[in-house]
Amino acid sequence: MSYREEKDSMGPVLIPETAYYGAQTRRAVENFPVSGISFPPVFIQTLGLIKKLAAGVNEELGLLDPSLSSAIMEAAKEVAEGKFHDQFIVDIFQTGSGTSTHMNANEVIASRANEILTGKRGGKSPVHPNDHVNLGQSSNDVIPSAIHISALMEIQNRLIPALSTLKIRLAEKALEFKGVKKIGRTHLQDAVPVTMGEVFSGYARQVELGTNHLEQAKKGLLELALGGTAVGTGENTHPKFARRVIEKISAETGQAFREAKNHFEAQGARDAAVEVSGALKALAVRLIKIANDIRFLASGPRSGLGELVLQALQPGSSIMPGKVNPVIPEVVIQVAYQVMGNDTVIALGAQGGFFELNTSLPLICHNLLQSIALLASGVCVFEEKCIQGLGVDAEKCASTIEKSLALATALVPLVGYDRAAEIAKKAYETGKTIREIALEASVLPEDRLNDLFMKYFV
């Protein structure tokens, strides 16, 4: 492999000729070989979007030569389109401001812009990564802004549509199952019957509430730190720069982004990320409840509850032929656990806001975007591979109701609580049904008893 020599403030560095990144990126890679995890593509693409629009605004403000601006915008557009993901090689565990990945972006864009202008990639002329690509910007305002933009767009474009579809599918199942009575359960014990449709209507409402909570929380992401530069004072940036760039970001994304009301809050704290992560965690908890209910209601099929019927996606265990495990609910539950863990990490990272800068930005970004992506994918799989094909065993549901001691509740208005409890106890001891014991005790004639219990079956 052939190399080119580049210099930074620490001296010369050898860079592969095929690379678009430069000396600062190379030093970061050499110094931070921790996890092998880089920023996700959506974040890098957002950096490209910011750099493209920033170059255009700097040209409009008379701060950047049109020929340089044009090349930077073309190169940044390619980054925004995902053409250089392999050039973003800095580990997520790096300087807490995300400066290393920010310079990775500045160097890649400058290198590609120089290639556009001169036919030769790399170097700092005619386009310089700091003087031109980073004009009017700092890692300290660009990285928080990119986190907000990428997180909001992922929520808007991936997660919320997935949740909407899941809610619709659960509501459809509520209608499909509305005529199927099943035993209710409280404290894991038999309770009075409900319909399976009512159960699924509750799940649909959970998803709706989770979506509403997320919609509200994501509004905090609309404020962007651009314009604050190093410490929030706007040092070395044009007073109109941030407003104009953000207006263009809004136009490109269709979201009403705005400049932060207070740049010191926008750079020193990560409260919006914490609030969104909290909404994601709450959503994860909701999904755990739904997924666990479904896998328990489908348990068995002969020795468990067996009221729901899962489609067989992976028939047979490694040792037991014909066994059908609830694989998709278990996938969703594990996704939710990861999201809950990520929320803890984000909260801890948000505590790293010391004075004028939070220094856990890469960690917060990685966990927040991972939570959104995991939930979006997990919800889609849940809807497509589990809820769509879910069936109900109406006969098993009716049989369980008939055997339940909870039917004694219907006798309370006739014989009182204590007498109804005695009938339930005798039914338990003898293995008979409530209906049979009530008939033996001559509580009511058989036809009247049948009418009394009918509400639990129809």
Q: Which of 35, 67, 125, 317 is catalytic?
A: 317
Q: What is the number of alpha carbons within 13 Å of residue 232 lying toward its C-beta?
A: 14
Neighbours of 286 (CB within 10 A): 21
Range 410-441 burial, b when 16+ CB lie within 10 A, else e: bbeeebeeeebeebbebbeeeebbbbbbbbee
Q: Examine the residue annotation and report whether 317 is marked as an active-site residue of this protein.
A: yes
- Is the preceding peptide bond at 126 cis, omega within 30 degrees of 0? yes
Instruction: Read off φ and ψ for residue 226, nearest 5 degrees.
Output: -50, 135
Q: What is the number of alpha carbons within 13 Å of residue 175 lying toward its C-beta?
A: 5
Q: Which of 9, 187, 303, 318 is catalytic?
A: 187
CA distances from 93 to 42, 237, 272, 417 (A): 18, 29, 22, 64
Q: Examine the residue annotation and report whether 102 is marked as an active-site residue of this protein.
A: no
Residues in the chain: 458
Q: How far apart are alpha carbons 309 and 299 in whole angstroms?
A: 9
Rounded to an integer, what is the distance from CA 102 to the centroid of its chain?
24
Question: Is residue 415 within a helix (H) or strand (E), and if so which, with residue range?
Answer: helix 412-415
For the annotated catalytic residues, the residue numbers are: 187, 317
